[in-house]
């Protein structure tokens, strides 16, 4: 869809992005997100060239150098009975075990970055997939109404009736052992597509409902009536009049869905029915830290904080997008 | 306006909606004709069925519970039974429509020019540049200053008057023979209203289009229309040449409507006469004359639905002329513009 020609005044999208650019908290949130994505992307570089560890291999017998001294990764417990071992605590130096070690002697900082890759990949892909499915369902239901709407809406009601986490957990447990077989295709149980698809599916009704409502309102809008009175075919009204007008709602939903997807992914991984070992995700790292919560709390706190920061940033960004994309408000400002 | 076969011939058009298990009749047996290059005014209060009539002609009512009866012929072709696909070529190309609120009749996400280009390209195989050239010319014809720049503006960046001009330009983009204007000036202020009405009046000479003007404003009708049809509660109360109806209304409702316009000359009345009561809801319509409960002249004969009868130049659905008790002519003669 090519929009206005060169000399045109700023269109609604341009205006919106300018408004978003002027929103300081949204821009901060965006900067934080970009920073976290970049940090996750450089995870291999950090592991190999800065921390010199392999975050996926247990290393209980090893040691690392700290201030010229060799320090055991697993240290004798300092409790009165000297039972068991405690992994090394945070050194706060990026060169080695910055955030300490987990119970298997792996570098938590490096695992955190690797976990970020997986967590963000899953949550962003799940959000995109969810929004795409929800848009199709919502637009079809809202635009065609009648029988199509009835079938799709009842289907969504059924999905809605099951609590999200319960739904996601049930689906995960079913697929965790044998993977997913769709006709001749089999998706292995450890494939990331499985958590992505599950998360996208369980949140679909939450995104489809508002889109459907918006489309239903738009279907009766005067400009749709005007287009019909000019003899524009239905599919063209759908593409030209309806879709661009719901696009703003869809864009606003995206970061919120990503935040929900991240939380769900972490929860599933924490319950070890999401991402499978040895792959790290923020949820699995928290699970690793669960047993060390009294002695080495940083193992669970670091990924927990990462989740909180990303979820808050996504929500702030979503709010900023909603403010920026409110078409009705901009039209008032314009005249 | 002279013309043998009318451009649009509507006969016994009835529309009813299903609601709560009952058929609610919105308009009943409405018949009228629009000739080539004629301006027909359809007048009535809110809820009298003006817009529903227009929507029914355009087949824009897609409520699943709607029932349409009667015939709509356009250039001799029956429209009510035409397949959807064939009907789409009529919409926009032969009959176009403009709406009350030009703000909401444009989608906010594209420039006005882009939308008019699209309307042209739906019906004609033109390149983008050719379509834009016609858009600019149309906007210019509609009295839009600096049409090239205006075409590149978004709807919210235009004033109400400019938007309505752009709306008319969009409706005229494929040179339709009939333009249905549903209260085109209601959302505009009075000066702009006069300009838009001028524009509509000139369409018949400049574009050869007939206009069906839906309004509740008798002043607008007096200024623009050749023929008038007065609707009351979904039924035709009176129809005929505008001059005749203004000088000698035959239906008490028309007369009351005209009396409620403040006079321009003579002593100012302290209180404008108003019609007591409210029009009946569609389900509570009396079997006889729908206006009878509010009418000064109501009597026993009004309990039977009066047919449209010829009275002087117009046709009227009232028993009075038949009883030889026609209304007196109004004092104010129509001032010829």
- Among the residue ranges A306-310, A311-315, B26-30, the one predicted with the least confidence is B26-30
pLDDT recorded at residue B45: 86
Judged by average pLDDT, the poorest of A32-46, B76-90, B267-281 is B267-281
Does position A6 have pLDDT exceeding 50, yes or no?
no
pLDDT single digits (tens) B10-29: 999 999 998 888 888 899 99
Residue B91: its chain A contacts at CB < 8 A?
228-231
**Residues of A with Cβ-Cβ distance to B64 under 8 angstroms:** 146
Assess B39–A contact: CB distance below 8 Å, yes or no: no
* DSSP line for B298-320: --GGGGSPPPPEEETTEEE--ST
Contact A229 B114 (CB under 8 A): no
CB contact B212 to A (< 8 Å): no
- The answer to the question of residue A99 being in a domain is no
**pLDDT value for A329:** 45
In a domain, A118, yes or no: yes
Non-local CB neighbours of B150 within 8 Å, separated by 6+ positions: B112, B113, B139, B144, B158, B162, B166
Average pLDDT along chain B? 87
Q: What is the pLDDT of residue B56?
A: 92
Chain A neighbors of B92, CB-CB under 8 A: 229-232
Query: Tell me: the pLDDT tens digits for A75-133?
Result: 877 666 666 778 888 888 888 888 888 888 888 999 999 999 999 999 999 999 999 99
B99, B152, B159 ranked by CB distance to A222: nearest:
B99
pLDDT value of residue B238: 92
Q: Is B104 in Cβ contact with A223 (below 8 Å)? A: yes
For residue A162, being part of any structural domain is answered with yes
Number of domains in chain A: 1
A218 located within any domain: yes
Is residue A60 one of the residues assigned to a domain?
no
Average pLDDT over all residues of chain A? 86
Residue of A nearest to B155 (CA): A331
Give ipTM to 2 decimals: 0.75
pLDDT for A80 equals 67
A293 touches B: beta carbon within 8 Å: no
Q: What is the DSSP letter of B293?
A: G
Q: What is the pLDDT at residue A334?
A: 39
Whether B122 contacts chain A with CB within 8 A: yes
CATH of the domain at A175: 1.10.3720.10
Which pLDDT value is given to residue A81? Answer: 67
Q: Which among A4, A146, A230 is the nearest to B152, CB-wise?
A: A4
pLDDT of amino acid A307: 96
Among B92, B156, B159, the residue with its CB nearest the CB of A231 is: B92
How far is residue A48's CA from residue B32's CA, in Å, rounded to a whole number?
Answer: 86
Residue B53 in tokens: 């009539």
Q: What confidence tier does B2 reach under pLDDT thresholds 50, 70, 90?
A: very low
Phi, psi at residue B194, to the nearest 5°? -60, -40
pLDDT at A137: 95
Q: Report the pLDDT value the prediction gives residue B116, as an integer from 0 to 100.
A: 93
CB contact under 8 A, A231 and B99: no
Give a yes or no: residue A220 inside a domain: yes
Say whether B111 and A12 touch across the interface (CB within 8 A).
no
Instruction: Give the distance from residue A225's alpha carbon to the nearest chain B alpha carbon, in angstroms.
Output: 7
A312: in domain: yes
**pLDDT by residue (tens digit) across B285-332?**
888 899 988 888 888 888 888 888 888 788 999 888 888 777 777 654
* Chain B partners within 8 Å of A229 (Cβ): 58, 60, 91-92, 96-97, 180
pTM confidence score: 0.78
Domain containing B299 equals 233-263+277-323
Asked if the Cβ–Cβ distance from B122 to A5 is below 8 Å, we say no
pLDDT tier at A314 (50, 70, 90 boundaries)? Answer: very high
Q: What pLDDT does residue A82 have? A: 63
Mutation target vs B (from A16, A229, A242; most B CBs, 10 A cutoff): A229
Cα B127–chain centre separation:
34
CB atoms B156 and A331 under 8 Å:
yes
pLDDT at A5 exceeding the cut of 60: no
Tokens coding B20: 């709560």
pLDDT for the residue numbered A311: 96
Q: Rg of chain B's alpha carbons, rounded to an integer?
A: 21
Rounded to the nearest angstrom, the minimum Cα separation between B152 and chain A is 5
Q: Which of B92, B104, B156 sits opposite A230 (nearest CB)?
A: B92
Q: What is the mean pLDDT of residues B252-264?
A: 83
Domain limits for position A210 = 26-45+111-334
A40 confidence band (pLDDT: 50, 70, 90): very high
User: Which residues of B fall within a CB distance of 8 Å from A335?
Assistant: 156-157, 159
For residue A81, being part of any structural domain is answered with: no
Please check the confidence at residue A335 and state whether its pLDDT lies above 60: no
The count of CB pairs under 8 A between chains A and B is 103
In a domain, B209, yes or no: no
Across the interface, whether the CB atoms of B109 and A327 are under 8 A apart is answered: yes
Whether the predicted pLDDT of A19 surpasses 50: yes
Q: Which residues from B are below 8 Å from A214, CB to CB?
A: none
Answer with the one of B125, B155, B175 that is the final residue of a domain. B175
- Interchain CB contact of A233 with B (< 8 Å): yes
Q: How far is A132 from chain B (nearest CA, A)?
A: 21
Is A8 or A67 the better-scoring residue by pLDDT? A67
pLDDT of residue A220: 84
Q: Is residue B298 part of a domain?
A: yes
Min Cα–Cα distance to chain B from A332, Å: 8
- Considering only residues 241 to 260 of chain A, which have any Cβ-Cβ distance to chain B shorter than 8 Å? 241, 244-245, 247
> Left if phi > 0, otherwise alpha if psi is -120 to 50, otherwise beta: which for B105?
alpha
pLDDT at position A276: 82
CB-based contact, A163 to chain B, within 8 Å: no
> Which pLDDT does position B335 carry in this prediction?
45
Q: Do A11 and B101 touch (CB under 8 A)?
A: no
Q: What percent of chain B has pLDDT over 90?
A: 32
State pLDDT tens for residues B188-222: 788 888 888 888 888 888 888 999 999 988 888 88
Q: Give how far A294 is from chain B: nearest CA, Å.
A: 56
- Per the model's pLDDT, the better-predicted residue between A30 and A21 turns out to be A30
Residue B32: closest CA among B73, B75, B85, B79:
B73
The answer as to whether B319 is a domain residue is yes
Is A147 an interface residue toward B (CB < 8 Å)?
A: no
A7 pLDDT exceeds 80?
no
Å between B285 CA and nearest CA of chain A:
29
CB proximity A11 to B under 8 Å:
yes
Say if A327 is an interface residue toward chain B (CB within 8 Å).
Answer: yes
Contact A223 B156 (CB under 8 A): no
- Interchain proximity A335–B105, CB inside 8 Å: no
The pLDDT tens digits of the residues spanning A222-271 come to 889 888 888 888 899 999 889 988 998 899 999 999 999 999 999 999 99
pLDDT tens by residue, A48-69: 888 888 888 888 788 888 877 8
Distance CA A245, CA A239 (A): 10
pLDDT tens for residues B147-165? Answer: 999 999 998 888 888 988 8
Averaged pLDDT for residues B136-145: 90
In our burial notation (b when 16+ CB lie closer than 10 A, e otherwise), range A100-131 reads bbbbbbbbbbbbbbbbbbbbbbbbbbbbbbbb
Predicted local confidence at residue A327, as pLDDT: 47
CB contact under 8 A, A231 and B122: yes
> Strand, coil or helix: what is B265?
coil
The residue of B54, B95, B107 whose CB has the most chain A CBs within 10 angstroms, and thus the best one to mutate to test that interface, is B107
Q: Does B57 touch chain A (CB under 8 A)?
A: no
Q: Which of B60, B64, B92 lies at the smallest CB-CB distance from A146?
A: B64
Residue B28: DSSP 8-state: E
Structure tokens at A169: 């957990």
> Mean pLDDT over residues A159-174, rounded?
91
Number of domains in chain B: 2
Q: Which residues contact B209 (CB under 8 A, 6 or more apart)?
A: B37, B172, B175, B176, B177, B178, B179, B203
- 10 Å CB burial of residue B102 (0-12, 13-18, 19+) is buried
Is the CB of A91 inside 8 Å of chain B's CB atoms? no
Cross-chain CB nearest to B105 (options A7, A12, A222): A222
């Amino acid at each position: 869809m090519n929009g206005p020609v060169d000399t045109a005044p700023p269109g609604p999208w341009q205006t919106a992005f300018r408004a978003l650019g002027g929103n300081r908290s949204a821009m901060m949130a965006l900067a934080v997100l970009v920073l976290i994505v970049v940090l996750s992307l450089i995870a291999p570089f950090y592991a190999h060239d800065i921390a010199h560890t392999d975050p996926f291999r247990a290393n209980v017998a090893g040691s690392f150098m700290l201030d010229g001294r060799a320090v055991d990764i697993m240290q004798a417990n300092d409790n009165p009975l000297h039972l068991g071992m405690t992994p090394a605590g945070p050194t706060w130096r990026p060169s080695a075990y910055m955030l300490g070690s987990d119970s298997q002697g792996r570098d938590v900082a490096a695992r955190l970055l690797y976990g970020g890759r997986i967590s963000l990949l899953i949550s962003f892909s799940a959000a995109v997939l969810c929004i795409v499915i929800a848009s199709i369902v919502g637009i079809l239901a809202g635009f065609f109404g009648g029988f199509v709407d009835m079938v799709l809406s009842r289907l969504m009601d059924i999905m809605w009736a099951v609590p999200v986490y319960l739904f996601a957990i049930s689906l995960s447990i079913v697929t965790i052992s044998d993977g997913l077989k769709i006709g001749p295709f089999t998706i292995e149980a450890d494939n990331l597509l499985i958590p992505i698809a599950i998360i996208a599916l369980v949140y679909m009704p939450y995104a489809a409902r508002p889109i459907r409502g918006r489309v239903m309102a738009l279907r009766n809008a005067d400009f749709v009536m005007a287009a019909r009175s000019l003899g524009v075919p239905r599919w063209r009204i759908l593409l030209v009049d309806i879709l661009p007008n719901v696009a703003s709602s869809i864009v606003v939903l995206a970061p919120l869905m990503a935040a929900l997807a991240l939380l769900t992914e972490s929860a599933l991984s924490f319950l070890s029915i999401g991402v499978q070992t040895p792959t790290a995700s923020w949820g699995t790292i928290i699970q690793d830290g669960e047993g060390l919560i009294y002695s080495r709390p940083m193992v669970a706190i670091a990924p927990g904080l990462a989740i909180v920061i990303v979820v808050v940033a996504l929500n702030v960004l979503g709010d900023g997008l909603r403010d920026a994309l409110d078409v009705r408000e901009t039209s008032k400002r314009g005249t | 306006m002279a013309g043998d076969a009318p451009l649009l011939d509507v006969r016994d058009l009835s529309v009813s909606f299903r609601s709560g298990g009952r058929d609610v009749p919105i308009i009943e047996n409405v018949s009228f004709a629009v000739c080539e290059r004629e301006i027909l005014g359809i007048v009535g209060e809110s809820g009298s069925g003006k817009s529903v009539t227009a929507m029914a002609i355009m087949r824009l009512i897609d409520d699943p519970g709607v029932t349409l009866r009667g015939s709509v012929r356009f250039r001799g072709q029956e429209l009510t039974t035409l397949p959807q696909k064939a009907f789409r070529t009529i919409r926009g190309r032969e009959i176009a429509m403009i709406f009350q609120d030009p703000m909401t009749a444009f989608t906010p996400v594209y420039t006005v020019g882009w939308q008019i280009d699209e309307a042209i390209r739906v019906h004609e195989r033109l390149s983008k540049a050719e379509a834009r050239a016609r858009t600019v010319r149309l906007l210019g014809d509609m009295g839009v200053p600096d049409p090239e720049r205006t075409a590149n503006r978004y709807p919210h960046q235009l004033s109400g008057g400019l938007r309505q001009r752009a709306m008319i330009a969009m409706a005229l983009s494929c040179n339709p023979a009939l333009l249905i204007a549903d209260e085109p000036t209601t959302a505009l202020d009075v000066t702009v209203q006069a300009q838009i009405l001028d524009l509509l009046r000139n369409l018949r000479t400049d574009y050869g289009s007939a206009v069906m003007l839906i309004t509740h404003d008798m002043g607008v009708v007096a200024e623009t229309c050749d023929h008038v049809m007065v609707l009351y509660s979904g039924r035709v109360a009176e129809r005929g040449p505008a001059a005749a109806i203004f000088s000698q209304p035959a239906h008490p409702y028309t007369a009351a409507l005209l009396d409620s316009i403040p006079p321009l000359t003579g002593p100012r009345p302290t209180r404008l006469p108003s019609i007591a009561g409210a029009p009946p809801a569609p389900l509570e319509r009396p079997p006889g004359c729908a206006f009878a409960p509010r009418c000064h002249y109501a009597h026993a004969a009004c309990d039977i639905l009066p047919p449209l009868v010829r009275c002087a130049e117009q046709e009227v659905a009232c028993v009075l002329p038949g009883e030889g008790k026609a209304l007196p002519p109004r004092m104010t003669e129509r001032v010829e513009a």
